[in-house]
Amino acid sequence: MADGIRDKVAIIGMGCTKFGERFDASPQDLIVEAFVECIGDAGLEKKDIQAAWWGVHMPDISVGRGATVLGAVLKLPYIPVTRVENYCTTGTEALRGATYAVASGAYDVCLALGMEKLKDTGYGGLPLAGGMGYKAPLIGFNMTAPGAFAMLATKYFSRYNLNPQEGKMMLAKVSAKSHKNGALNPKAHLRKEVTVEQIMNAPIIAWPLGLFDCCGVSDGAAAAIVCRADMAKNFRQDPVFIKALQISVSSGDEMLYTRWDGTHVEPAYRAGISAYREAGIKNPREEVSMAEVHDCFSITEAVTMEDLQFSPRGRVKEDIDAGRFNADGAQPIQIDGGLKCFGHPIGASGLRMVYEMYKQLQGKADKRQLKNPKIGLTHNMGGFPSNNVVSVCIVGK
């Protein structure tokens, strides 16, 4: 009987680049920047890494396909390298590959590295890059990511009787909180506090979402080295243990059948349940000390609080209003500034979130350091609210 991966694998080193519009850096520069910090943090040599998982979502606009990029850039010595892609969970999928490989007993030490270079396209928002296949333009709608998630907000406001003012106010508080956190983080892309009023009055990107309801688009990379839990302390005294690593994928009924209510993300709820079971968490609202969730848009973070059972269904507004998720609240969310301030280089984001949890658990989060966190959770959601993949990773001491 399978018993999951809880406490079988430890993170012994991590690296994360400065995120931003890195017009100064090539994709290869970003890969090296994250790797150098990561291997230095782990105190290993390259020859100790037995296999690697490489995450990039849109390689066609940066480095091209396949695993050879990572091998060639890092001059890895002919070890197995696997390229993974799974929408916005790509970085977490790289970590999942490395973690599962170690948990299986196949290897002792593995590398996960994710990178995305989005700012070579010449326009804002996520690139199109023909990523939906040839048939999509023939049958799909003329949409962007903000629009896809705006539909979650429209439906949420309608279902819970929030007028546009009330709804936008709830979302503005989500973004204001993240901006406040991000201002303290030297690796964040956007480092400016923004008031609720500024957010409410910003230009509309996709109704009802305004400019500050949307995360930035940026370049970045992040990496982790994992090893067998029982050997972790040979490398460092403060390893971080992986408690759960789960994903869930839509089954198609949300977008085709008329049952889904349009105000939540079903795979987020399902991945949460699986991860809590694996980690042995019974009351997520009380037991999860902090989380980095996929706040690609303010509404995504809001409904994720409900999907991950941090807030009761339809009542996240009360928790937002009470400041529960602020840095000084009972359950800080996006303590590093989130996607909101880091932007979302897709292949890197999942590992960037784990990086913050890792630093917090080690007490090395500088001005953002929370008081004695025990359990950290990261969450990525890729695709569209109606059809998506969600990852949940739980780490602890």
Partner 1 sequence: MVGIKSYGAHIPRYRLDRNIMQLALLFLGTGPLRGEKAVANWDEDSITMATAAGKDCLTGEDRDKIDGLYFATTSQIYSLRQNAGIIAGALDIATVSRTADFTDSTKSGTTAMIAAADAIGAGSLSSCLVCVSDCRVGKVSGNADYTYGDGAASFLMGNKDVIATIDGSYSTTHDFVDRRRLEGERLEHMWEERFIRDAGYMNFIPEAVAGLLNKYKLNIKDFSKVIYACSIAGAHSALAKTLGLAPEQVQDPLLMNVGDTGVAQPMMMLVAALEDAKPGDRIMVVSFGQGCDVFYITVTDKITEVKNKKAIKRNLANKAALGSYEKYLAFRKLMPVEIGIRGEEAIFTSFSIVSRENREIYGMVGSRCRKCGAPAWPIQRICPNPDCGAIDQFDPYRFSDKLGNIFTYTADYLAASIDPPSAYGFIDFEGGGRCGLDFTDCDANTLKVGLPMELSFRIKYADEKRAAVNYGWKAIPIIA
- Under rule CB under 8 A, which residues in 191-250 are in contact with partner 1? 203-207, 209
Of 17, 154, 360, 380, which lies in the binding site for partner 1, with binding defined by CB under 8 A? Answer: 154
Q: Please check whether residue 149 is in contact with residue 300, taking contact to mean a CB–CB distance below 8 angstroms.
A: yes
Q: Please check whether residue 218 is in contact with residue 342, taking contact to mean a CB–CB distance below 8 angstroms.
A: yes
Of 142, 161, 237, 283, which lies in the binding site for partner 1, with binding defined by CB under 8 A? Answer: 142
Size of the site for partner 1 (CB under 8 A): 44
Alpha-carbon distance of 350 to 346, in angstroms, equals: 8
Of 115, 150, 184, 275, which lies in the binding site for partner 1, with binding defined by CB under 8 A? Answer: 150
DSSP β-ladder status, 51-55 and 81-84:
parallel
147 binds partner 1 (CB under 8 A): yes
In the complex, least distance from residue 197 CB atom to partner 1, rounded to whole angstroms: 21
Of 40, 43, 64, 137, which lies in the binding site for partner 1, with binding defined by CB under 8 A? Answer: 137
The single-letter code of the amino acid at 11 is I
Measured from the CB atom, is 62 or 326 closer to partner 1?
62
Q: Please identify which of the residues 341, 344, 379, 393 carries the catalytic annotation.
A: 344
Q: Is the peptide bond before 208 cis (omega within 30 degrees of 0)?
A: yes
Measured from the CB atom, is 301 or 319 closer to partner 1?
301
175 binds partner 1 (CB under 8 A): no
Q: Please check whether residue 392 is in contact with residue 271, taking contact to mean a CB–CB distance below 8 angstroms.
A: yes
Is the torsion defined by CA of 151, 153, 159, 162 positive or negative? Answer: negative
Measured from the CB atom, is 23 or 123 closer to partner 1?
123
Q: Please check whether residue 326 is in contact with residue 359, taking contact to mean a CB–CB distance below 8 angstroms.
A: no
Alpha-carbon distance of 48 to 18, in angstroms, equals: 26
User: Taking contact as CB under 8 A, which single stretch among the options 153-161, 167-175, 183-191, 304-312 is the one that binds partner 1?
Assistant: 153-161
344 included as an active-site residue:
yes
Q: Is 111 helix (H, G, I), strand (E, B) or coil?
A: strand
Alpha-carbon distance of 45 to 47, in angstroms, equals: 5
User: Taking contact as CB under 8 A, which single stretch among the options 140-148, 290-298, 320-328, 343-351 is the one that binds partner 1?
Assistant: 140-148
Measured from the CB atom, is 223 or 381 closer to partner 1?
381
Alpha-carbon distance of 194 to 183, in angstroms, equals: 10
Measured from the CB atom, is 64 or 130 closer to partner 1?
130
In the complex, least distance from residue 296 CB atom to partner 1, rounded to whole angstroms: 13
In the complex, least distance from residue 263 CB atom to partner 1, rounded to whole angstroms: 9
Q: Please check whether residue 338 is in contact with residue 300, taking contact to mean a CB–CB distance below 8 angstroms.
A: no
Q: Please check whether residue 221 is in contact with residue 34, taking contact to mean a CB–CB distance below 8 angstroms.
A: yes
Measured from the CB atom, is 1 or 139 closer to partner 1?
139
Which helix (H) or strand (E) segment holds residue 352: the answer is helix 346-362
Measured from the CB atom, is 334 or 386 closer to partner 1?
386
143 binds partner 1 (CB under 8 A): yes
Q: At what angle do helices 145-159 and 298-307 cross, to 10 degrees?
A: 60
In the complex, least distance from residue 345 CB atom to partner 1, rounded to whole angstroms: 18
DSSP tag of 124? S
Alpha-carbon distance of 38 to 44, in angstroms, equals: 9
In the complex, least distance from residue 118 CB atom to partner 1, rounded to whole angstroms: 13
In the complex, least distance from residue 162 CB atom to partner 1, rounded to whole angstroms: 12
Q: Is 60 helix (H, G, I), strand (E, B) or coil?
A: helix
Task: Count CB atoms within 10 A of the CB of residue 386.
Answer: 18
User: Taking contact as CB under 8 A, which single stretch among the options 41-49, 95-103, 137-145, 308-316 is the one that binds partner 1?
Assistant: 137-145
386 binds partner 1 (CB under 8 A): yes
Of 45, 123, 161, 237, which lies in the binding site for partner 1, with binding defined by CB under 8 A? Answer: 123
Catalytic residues: 88, 344
